């Protein structure tokens, strides 16, 4: 989430970050224009509200009615200005760290370090999809018929394996002081926006409930009533993630995945950093552990 004060105070810095991430730099100027319009509308409405309160105290009914009528005309314009601003502002990505190399695709990624050596086989190894199908534990075909592309069924040992990996992760993390939390699969837009899961136009990749301010979460989002209770704790949370990703045939990038998120909301620096730890028994499935510092916006 970009700080609005940074956008107003140093737009060139924000533009550089946007350009480095290959996003549309014109978003910055559009956002600033809409922010100015929004603030002007807000000032007009706040002045009228102050006058309304003043006339109410003075019991000036005629002036109160006049102000009320003006507010009824202006408040919808303020809502529209807020909506237009947020649509553009929420498309602005966070700036990358200075040490991150700039590139147009993952082909330009730079290897930072390597741990261990890739295992060498004296035979042609099968990927997890082939193994899952051969073992009768993974079924993409039926998943596609029932729910569409990129969904799948686990059968037998496959279903038990997924549950075992989640339990395995929870047991380890609980011993380290993390608090296990299972969150709702649905969240209001303000939460998956305010926690950093920003919709970016058509790239939002969020399944939404029709006529409701609810979407399937792309990760574990903070419910409002947990912000105070767990603010001074560390939590590990199970997330049922639903995202639309058109990619190769991998369980890592499908419409529905189970993840265990590792998060801290109190430590300024992590005690330990889990970037991605991948365990693939029989190369059938993967579990991802991530450490993510979240900044909660009320």
Sign of the four-CA dihedral 99, 101, 107, 110:
negative
Look at residue 14 and tell me if it is in a domain. yes
Do 191 and 47 belong together in one domain?
A: no
Q: Are residues 141 and 274 in the same domain?
A: yes
Residue listed under structure tokens 């939002």: 204
Asked if 222 contacts 294 with a C-beta cutoff of 8 angstroms, the reply is yes
Token output for 249: 């045939």
* CATH number of the domain to which 17 belongs: 1.10.287.40
Same domain, 162 and 78: no
Looking at 36, 70, 89, which one is the last position of a domain? Answer: 89
Could you tell me where the DSSP H helices lie in the chain? 4-9, 11-20, 26-58, 61-89, 128-135, 140-147, 157-175, 189-194
Q: What is the dihedral of CA 211, 217, 220, 221, to 10 degrees?
A: -40
Is residue 104 in some structural domain? no
The domain tally of the chain equals: 2
Alpha-carbon distance of 15 to 7, in angstroms, equals 9
The CATH number given to whatever domain includes residue 214 is 3.30.930.10
Report residue 236's pLDDT band, with 50, 70 and 90 as the boundaries. Answer: low
Do 271 and 198 lie in one domain? The reply is yes
Q: Tell me the backbone φ, ψ of residue 114, rounded to 5 degrees.
A: -135, 135
pLDDT over 80 at 39, yes or no: yes
Task: Please report whether residue 281 resides in a domain.
Answer: yes
Same domain, 8 and 65: yes
In a domain, 52, yes or no: yes
pLDDT score for 33: 97
Asked whether the whole model's pTM tops 0.75, one would answer: no
Domain boundary pick from 65, 89, 113: 89
Q: Which domain holds residue 204?
A: 122-293
133 in the same domain as 280: yes
Strand 153-154 versus strand 138-139 pairing type: antiparallel
Non-local CB neighbours of 128 within 8 Å, separated by 6+ positions: 138, 250, 251, 280, 282, 283, 284, 285, 286
User: How many helices (DSSP H) and strands (DSSP E) are in the chain?
Assistant: 8, 8
Is 214 found in the same domain as 133?
yes
Domain shared by 165 and 265, yes or no: yes
Q: What pLDDT sits at residue 107?
A: 83
pLDDT tens digits, one per residue of 280-292: 332 223 333 333 3
Per-residue pLDDT, 180: 83
pLDDT digits (tens, 9 = 90+) for 66-82: 999 999 999 999 999 99
Q: Is residue 251 part of a domain?
A: yes
């Amino acid at each position: 989430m970009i700080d609005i004060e940074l956008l107003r105070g140093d737009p060139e810095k924000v533009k550089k970050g946007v350009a480095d991430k290959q996003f549309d730099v014109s978003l910055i100027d559009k956002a600033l224009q809409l922010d100015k319009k929004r603030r002007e509308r807000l000032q007009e409405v706040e002045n009228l509200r102050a006058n309304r309160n003043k006339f109410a105290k003075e019991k000036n009914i005629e002036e109160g009615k006049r102000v009320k009528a003006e507010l009824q005309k202006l408040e919808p314009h303020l809502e529209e200005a807020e909506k237009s601003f947020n649509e553009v502002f929420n498309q602005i990505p966070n700036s990358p760290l200075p040490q991150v190399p700039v590139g147009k695709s993952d082909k330009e990624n730079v290897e930072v370090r390597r741990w261990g050596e890739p295992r060498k086989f004296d035979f042609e190894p099968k990927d997890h999809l082939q193994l899952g199908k051969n073992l009768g534990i993974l079924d993409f075909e039926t998943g596609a018929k029932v729910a569409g592309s990129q969904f799948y069924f686990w059968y037998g040992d496959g279903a038990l394996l997924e549950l075992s990996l989640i339990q395995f992760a929870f047991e380890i993390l609980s011993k380290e002081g993390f608090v296990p939390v299972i969150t709702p699969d649905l969240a209001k837009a303000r939460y998956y926006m305010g926690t950093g899961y920003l919709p970016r136009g058509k790239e939002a990749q969020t399944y939404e409930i029709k006529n409701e301010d609810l979407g399937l979460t792309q990760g574990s989002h903070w419910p409002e009533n947990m912000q105070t209770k767990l603010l001074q704790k560390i939590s590990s949370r199970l997330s049922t993630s639903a995202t639309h990703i058109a990619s190769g045939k991998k369980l890592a990038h499908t419409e529905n995945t189970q993840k265990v998120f590792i998060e801290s909301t109190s430590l300024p620096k992590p005690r330990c950093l889990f970037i991605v730890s991948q365990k693939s028994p029989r190369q059938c499935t993967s579990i991802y552990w991530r450490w993510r510092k979240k900044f909660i916006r009320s």
